[in-house]
């Protein structure tokens, strides 16, 4: 009599997909040194009344240190640069940075550069972007988003940016200094960050005084900035009079940016002149920084 061979129920119900690799086959990348690679990303959250807000997070790939966690109604290009510079003043400059392809991080798809790309290039920092539709590349900052949101969900919902920032600061201090991390053999991120020498950009820039300030172009179309102990008068153009702007100052390099992220003027201050010439304005075809405001 022929024997009936019965397959296990699991074999009958599951469609085999040999092209898919098991989780055990995935190679997980980890930077060898602190500051070898920073990961950056923005994630949505909401206030108590349901209105949207965005949180910008920077995480060190090797140690998982939360380098910065800042909230904005909408993260703009100038915000990314400002938070990055603040974090680098505390932790040092990284050798490289990794992000997704959001337009506050890159405009390479249209052949342009956003502010953070220009800033990292100036500092000799390699900027890498994840493969589209492959969020695992930025997995550490994505995982930090989840941990942060679980914490925020247990708090009294914030009603303002100030309240939310207070919660972010409290969590970052606890996460870095107190909370043992399973991926770090139960060590805290900051202890791992401090245990090794730090990677540095391949091209070391000279020490530079970084400043980010808000200002308003006067009725004559100019700004005033103190540099090397003297006031420097910077013409911007009467078309921009009374406009509120941000100034990104890196030593003698100055960029003037509108509140919505448009690059208005970039110049290098001539220390021999108190009144800076109008020359040095970037050509119009380079002023593509408005993509910074898009997400």
Examine residue 52 and state whether it is found in any structural domain, yes or no: yes
For the chain, the domain total comes to 2
Examine residue 17 and state whether it is found in any structural domain, yes or no: no
Examine residue 273 and state whether it is found in any structural domain, yes or no: yes
Q: How far apart are CA 176 and CA 66, in angstroms?
A: 6
Examine residue 90 and state whether it is found in any structural domain, yes or no: yes
pLDDT interval class at 16 (50, 70, 90): low
What number of helices (H) and strands (E) belong to the chain? 6, 11
Q: What local confidence, expressed as pLDDT, does residue 66 receive?
A: 96
Judgement on whether residues 182 and 216 belong to the same structural domain of the protein: no
Q: What local confidence, expressed as pLDDT, does residue 288 receive?
A: 37
Judgement on whether residues 160 and 239 belong to the same structural domain of the protein: no
Judgement on whether residues 188 and 214 belong to the same structural domain of the protein: no
Q: Answer yes or no: is pLDDT of 9 > 80.
A: no
Q: Answer yes or no: is pLDDT of 11 > 90.
A: no
Q: Which residue, 44, 137, 64, is CA-closest to 99?
A: 137
Judgement on whether residues 185 and 214 belong to the same structural domain of the protein: no
Q: How far apart are CA 77 and CA 116, in angstroms?
A: 7
Examine residue 232 and state whether it is found in any structural domain, yes or no: yes
Q: How far apart are CA 189 and CA 180, in angstroms?
A: 8
Each residue's pLDDT tens digit, 179-195: 887 776 879 999 999 99
Express as a percent the part of the chain with pLDDT over 70.
Answer: 79
Q: How far apart are CA 195 and CA 209, in angstroms?
A: 28
61 phi and psi angles, rounded to 5 deg: -65, -40
Domain residue limits at 114: 38-193
Examine residue 112 and state whether it is found in any structural domain, yes or no: yes
Residues 6+ apart with CB under 8 A from 150: none
Judgement on whether residues 88 and 169 belong to the same structural domain of the protein: yes
Judgement on whether residues 110 and 251 belong to the same structural domain of the protein: no
Please state, rounded to an integer, the average pLDDT across all residues of the chain: 82
Range of weakest confidence among 5-14, 105-114, 194-203, 219-228: 5-14
Examine residue 157 and state whether it is found in any structural domain, yes or no: yes
Q: How far apart are CA 128 and CA 291, in angstroms?
A: 18
What CATH number has the domain bearing residue 109?
3.30.420.10
239 phi and psi angles, rounded to 5 deg: -65, -20
Q: Which residue, 147, 187, 140, 143, is CA-closest to 168?
A: 147
Judgement on whether residues 67 and 175 belong to the same structural domain of the protein: yes
Each residue's pLDDT tens digit, 19-51: 554 544 444 567 899 999 999 999 999 999 999
| 3-class SS shares of the chain: helix, strand, coil, % to 5 | 30, 25, 45
Q: Answer yes or no: is pLDDT of 84 > 90.
A: yes
Last residue of a domain, one of 193, 221, 239: 193
Judgement on whether residues 182 and 218 belong to the same structural domain of the protein: no
Each residue's pLDDT tens digit, 214-243: 999 999 999 999 876 778 999 999 899 999
Q: What local confidence, expressed as pLDDT, does residue 58 receive?
A: 97
Q: What local confidence, expressed as pLDDT, does residue 31 receive?
A: 83
Residues 6+ apart with CB under 8 A from 100: 41, 129, 130, 135, 137, 138
pLDDT interval class at 164 (50, 70, 90): very high
Highest mean pLDDT among 69-73, 109-113, 249-253: 69-73
Q: What local confidence, expressed as pLDDT, does residue 207 receive?
A: 56
Judgement on whether residues 282 and 155 belong to the same structural domain of the protein: no
Q: What local confidence, expressed as pLDDT, does residue 263 receive?
A: 87
Judgement on whether residues 228 and 134 belong to the same structural domain of the protein: no
The count of other CB atoms within 10 Å of the CB of residue 44 is: 11
Judgement on whether residues 241 and 119 belong to the same structural domain of the protein: no
Range of weakest confidence among 30-39, 145-154, 245-254, 280-289: 280-289
Q: How far apart are CA 39 and CA 143, in angstroms?
A: 11
Examine residue 159 and state whether it is found in any structural domain, yes or no: yes
Judgement on whether residues 47 and 186 belong to the same structural domain of the protein: yes
**DSSP symbols for 158-216:** PSSHHHHHHHHHHHHHHHHHTS-BGGGTTB-HHHHHTTSPPP--SSPPPP--EEEEEEE
Last residue of a domain, one of 135, 160, 193: 193
Q: How far apart are CA 10 and CA 125, in angstroms?
A: 51
pLDDT interval class at 278 (50, 70, 90): confident
């Amino acid at each position: 009599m022929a024997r009936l061979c019965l397959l296990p129920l699991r074999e009958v119900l599951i469609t085999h997909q040999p092209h898919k690799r098991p989780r055990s086959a995935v190679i997980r990348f980890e930077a060898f040194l602190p500051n070898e690679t920073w990961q950056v990303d923005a994630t949505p959250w909401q206030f108590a009344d349901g209105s949207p807000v965005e949180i910008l997070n920077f995480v060190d790939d090797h140690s998982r240190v939360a380098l910065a966690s800042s909230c904005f109604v909408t993260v703009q290009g100038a915000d990314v640069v400002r938070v990055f510079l603040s974090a680098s003043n505390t932790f040092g400059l990284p050798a490289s940075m990794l992000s997704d392809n959001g337009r506050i991080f890159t405009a390479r798809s249209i052949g342009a550069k956003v502010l953070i790309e220009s800033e990292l290039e100036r500092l000799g920092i390699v900027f890498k972007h994840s493969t589209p539709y492959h969020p695992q590349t930025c997995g550490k900052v994505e995982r930090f988003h989840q941990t942060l949101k679980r914490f925020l969900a247990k708090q009294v919902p914030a009603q303002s940016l100030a309240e939310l920032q207070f919660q972010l600061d409290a969590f970052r201090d606890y996460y870095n200094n107190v909370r043992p991390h399973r991926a770090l053999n139960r060590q805290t991120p900051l202890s791992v960050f401090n245990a090794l020498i730090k990677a540095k950009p391949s091209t070391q820039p000279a020490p530079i005084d970084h400043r980010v300030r808000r200002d308003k172009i006067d009725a004559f179309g100019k700004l005033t900035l103190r540099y090397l102990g003297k006031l420097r008068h910077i013409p911007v153009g009467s078309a921009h009079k009374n406009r509120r702007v941000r100034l990104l100052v890196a030593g003698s390099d100055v960029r003037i940016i509108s509140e919505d992220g448009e690059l208005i003027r970039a110049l290098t201050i001539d220390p021999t002149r108190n009144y800076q010439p109008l020359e040095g304005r970037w050509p119009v075809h380079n002023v593509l920084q408005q993509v910074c405001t898009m997400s």
